[in-house]
Structure 1
Amino acid sequence: MKIAMIGHKRVPGREGGVEVVVEELTAQLVHMGHEVTVYNRRCRGVSRQKSFNGARLIWVPTINKKSLDAVVYSFFATLHALFGRYDVIHYHAIGPSVMLFLPHLLGIRTVATVHGLNYKTPKWKGFAAWYIRLGEKIVAKYADEVIVLSRDAQRYFQCAYGRKTCYIPNGVQLRQIRRPVRIKNSWGLEGDDYFLYLSRIVPGKGLEYLVDAYLRLQQPRPKLVIAGDSVHVPAFYQSIREKVEDCPDVIFTGFVQGELMDELYSNARAFVFPSEAEGMPMCLLEAMSYNCLCIVSDIPENKEVMEEHATYFESKNTNALYRALERFLLPAPRPNTRAYAAQRFSWEKIAQKTCSVYAGKEVEDGCCDGADAGL
């Protein structure tokens, strides 16, 4: 099968969950014998390699502005893909999926994965929020198949549009659990002596609540490590920095990946994820794969992933998060969630189900029979 991937930023890359999904899914599809082309966004300072893990990479021009980046990229990527003779074009995220109507008009099979209802977060406002909602409507009406990552999103599409969808969660790749070597050299972290936040530093992730709750903890307390980047939202990042400018216990690592990421997950007292809205949080899957204790907001998407394997607090409630952190001021045994994550969130099984969706076959959790939403 000849497949195109559109919607992410770039592969290889870990800017967000969408990029991880496209990279892992593509690797599995290539291993299964499919021909995959991945449409990357051009970016200064990033080498434009022509292939990765057996997939062809095509670099598409875009505009480095938050409100226009996905619009321009997905337009040019779709134009190129229209002439690629693909069996299926797979769009990721509802913003880039606005362009899905073009291959639909030409009779090219399309699949869209809804990675989250992004307009629900404060990161997106004005034109960007409107455009993302337009993408949602186009996905519901025109996509041959729609994949969702949570039962909550599945219920939403059924209630809002009468649209059947296919539930296929994200997967996780088990990586090595490592001793604190690099993080000790870089930041003096010994292991089990810090709370970890590892995600993008953007509005909607609840980081401001975490910082406020942490600053209320009495000494002695674990450090707080904030790992991630802040693309397009420097003002928000600066507001977080200002909150903790007099607190040496808060460490900003910037974007991390590879062995450094392994060490941060492997040695955290607890992983904290206070997000206000998600599709399916990759960082929680990763945290479980390292046997992390997890303190997470009680939004449906988090609870669906973690089930009984987390300590929950009320979303956007600083007092509730403070009380949750307080429970882990002293060391606690690490859970054995690695096996659970590997069994439930296998990339191999996810790729097999996705191929069934490409072919229009029923999958175990019930897939739509095509675009039948009345808008």
Structure 2
Amino acid sequence: MKIVVTGTRGIPNIMGGVETHCEELFPRIAAKGYDITVIRRKSYVKDSLKEYKGVKLIDLETPKKKSFEAIIHTFKAIIKAKSLHADIVHIHAIGPALLTPVARLLGMKVVFTHHGPDYDRDKWGKTAKVMLKLGERMGTTFANEVIVISNVINNILIQKYNRRDCHLIYNGVPKPDFCEFPEYFQELGIEKGKYILGMCRFVPEKNLHHLVEAFSKINTYDYKLVLAGDTDFEDDYSRKLKELAKKHGVVLTGFIKGTKLHSLLTHTRCFVLPSSHEGLPIALLEAMSYNLPVIVSDIPANLEIGLNPENYFKVGNVDELAEKLQYNLQNPLQRVEYNMQQYNWDNIAEQVQHIYNSILNNSKK
């Protein structure tokens, strides 16, 4: 069985929730004997790999322009998939899903994973939002099988398109890698247990400016705020966020993975995610896997995880967020044991494999 994956910028070590999802999922499926090829966007690739943990990698040139790159890359990837005689094209995210009918017309089966209603993101203009909504419709209507990563998304597809056979498969999280990296902490100018951590892309809907503003309002007791991440496209928002962060002494790490990120997760006081939009946030799941206290906005995707009421604040309410931060810093640190069983990547990989097998078995009838 040959499966070609598109809709992601690529793997490994490329920033983004979909990218992290694919980096964890597809090596596990490849290890079971499936022929997996991920089509990468060359402008994001910093290596010369042709294979990663059993997953074949093909790089295609794509213009690095926010409004066009995903759709152009997906079209080229689908054409490439046809030349590779793919049995299944697995499309991730609603923008790339716009081309689901093209893959079907070329005779390939399509699995579409809906990672969230991206048309709700602040970064998109009116035309882009229309195209994203159309992509959601095309993927939901024409894909052979649809995967959703949360009940929130599943309900959207039932209400809007009456598609009731979607597969609910949550995002996952790997086992935590508790580690020490004193040299890195010295480089950042932080101490173990003396900082609050936010990690995500620097885009408007993540509301990191609210976190910086809230942190600036409280008695920090010499704690620092660390923001791990960056932006794909430097714009007015990312520039203003970085200026605001520097004004208030926030530590900016840039995009990090591996030991640097794991060491920050190991030793932070708490993790904060103030987003106004999420599908099912991998960053939050990762923080939970490290038994961290978390403070998150009360959007549907975060509420679905089922944290205690004190972990949530009203999205956009900077004063309430500041109160939660202050309470956390002035009370003893308490690690939390979360139930992470449903976010196990090995189980998730088995569920996706079952979908692939059912598609091929049905096509043989």
Does TM, normalized by the shorter one, top 0.5? Answer: yes
Whether the 8 Å contact between 2:10 and 2:45 is mirrored in structure 1 is no
Larger displacement relative to structure 2 (98-107 or 271-280): 98-107
Once residues 294 and 133 of structure 1 are traced to their aligned partners in structure 2, the CA distance between those partners, rounded to angstroms, is 32
- Asked if 1:277 corresponds to 2:277, the answer is yes
2:304 aligned partner: 304
The 3 A distance-change label for structure 1 pair 133 and 319 is same
1:136-171 superposed Cα distances (whole Å, 9 cap, x missing partner): 010121011110011011011001110121100011
The Cα of 1:180 is off from its aligned counterpart by 4.9
Determine the structure 1 residue equivalent to 2:188. Answer: 187
Find the aligned partners of 1:137 and 1:108 in 2 and give their Cα distance.
Answer: 19
Structure 2 residues without counterparts, runs of 5 or longer: none
Q: Relative to structure 1, is the Cα distance of residues 27 and 219 closer, same or farther in structure 2, using a 3 angstrom cutoff?
A: closer
Structure 2 residue aligned with 1:51: 51
Q: Which residue of 1 aligns with 2:240?
A: 239
Question: 2:354 matched to 1:356?
Answer: yes
Conserved 8 A contact 1:120-1:277: yes
Per-residue CA deviation, residues 299-318 of structure 1 (Å, 9 max, x unaligned), is: 11112225339711011111
With structure 1 as the length reference, what TM-score do the two structures score?
A: 0.91
Cα displacement (A) at 1:271: 0.3
Deviations 1:87-129 (A, max 9, x none): 2111011111111111212332100001111110101113322
- Cα RMSD of the aligned pairs, angstroms, is 1.9
Moved more, 157-166 or 210-219: 210-219
User: Contact conserved, 1:298 with 1:313, CA < 8 A, in 2?
Assistant: yes
Partner of 1:19: 19
How far has the Cα of 1:44 moved from its partner?
6.7
Q: Which amino acid aligns with 2:300?
A: P
Which one has more relative contact order, counting CA pairs under 8 Å at least 6 apart?
1
SS at match of 1:277: coil
Q: Hey, what's the Cα distance between the residues in 1 that align with 2:128 and 2:139?
A: 17
CA distance in 2, matches of 1:310, 1:169: 24
Work out the CA distance in 1 between the residues paired with 2:198 and 2:142.
Answer: 38
Q: Are the equivalent residues in 2 in contact too, given 1:87–1:108 (CA < 8 A)?
A: yes
Residue 347 of structure 1: aligned partner: 345
**Is the 8 Å Cα contact of residues 202 and 233 (structure 1) preserved in structure 2?**
no
Residue identity opposite 2:198 in structure 1: Y
The alpha-carbon deviation at position 179 of structure 1 amounts to: 3.0
User: Is the 1:180–1:191 contact (alpha carbons within 8 Å) kept by the matching residues of 2?
Assistant: no
Cα distance, 1:355 vs structure 2: 1.3
Q: Provide closer, same or farther for how the CA distance between residues 183 and 305 of structure 1 changes in structure 2, counting only shifts above 3 A.
A: farther
**Quick one: which amino acid aligns to residue 259 of structure 2?**
E
Question: 2:41–2:60: 8 Å Cα contact kept in structure 1?
Answer: yes
Q: Which has the higher helix share?
A: 2
In 1, the alpha carbon distance for the partners of 2:168 and 2:44 equals: 36
Structure-2 change in CA distance of 1:144 and 1:219 (3 Å) = closer
Q: Structure 2 counterpart of 1:92, which letter?
A: H
TM score, norm. by length of structure 2: 0.94
Structure 2 CA distance for partners of 1:45 and 1:285, relative to 1, 3 Å: closer
CA distance 1:132–1:206, change in 2 (3 Å): same
For the 8 Å contact 2:14–2:45, the answer to whether it is kept is no
User: 1-side partners of 2:208 and 2:12: how far apart?
Assistant: 26
Amino acid at match of 1:198: M
Aligned twin of 2:252: 252
CA shift in 2, pair 1:114/1:327, >3 Å: same
Percent of aligned pairs with the same amino acid: 34
User: Given residue 323 of structure 1, which amino acid in structure 2 is its aligned partner?
Assistant: E
What's the counterpart of residue 209 of structure 2?
208
Q: Is contact 1:180-1:267 (8 Å) kept?
A: no
How far apart, CA to CA, are the structure 1 residues paired with 2:234 and 2:121?
13
Cα deviation digits, residues 156-200 of structure 1 (max 9, x gap):
100111012110001111132123513322122221111101110
Conserved 8 A contact 1:95-1:131: yes
Compared CA separation, residues 58 and 335, structure 1 to 2 (3 A): same
The CA distance in 2 between the partners of 1:309 and 1:39, in whole Å, is 41
* Cα distance in 1 for residues equivalent to 2:54 and 2:316: 43
CA–CA distance in structure 1, aligned partners of residues 163 and 234 of structure 2: 34
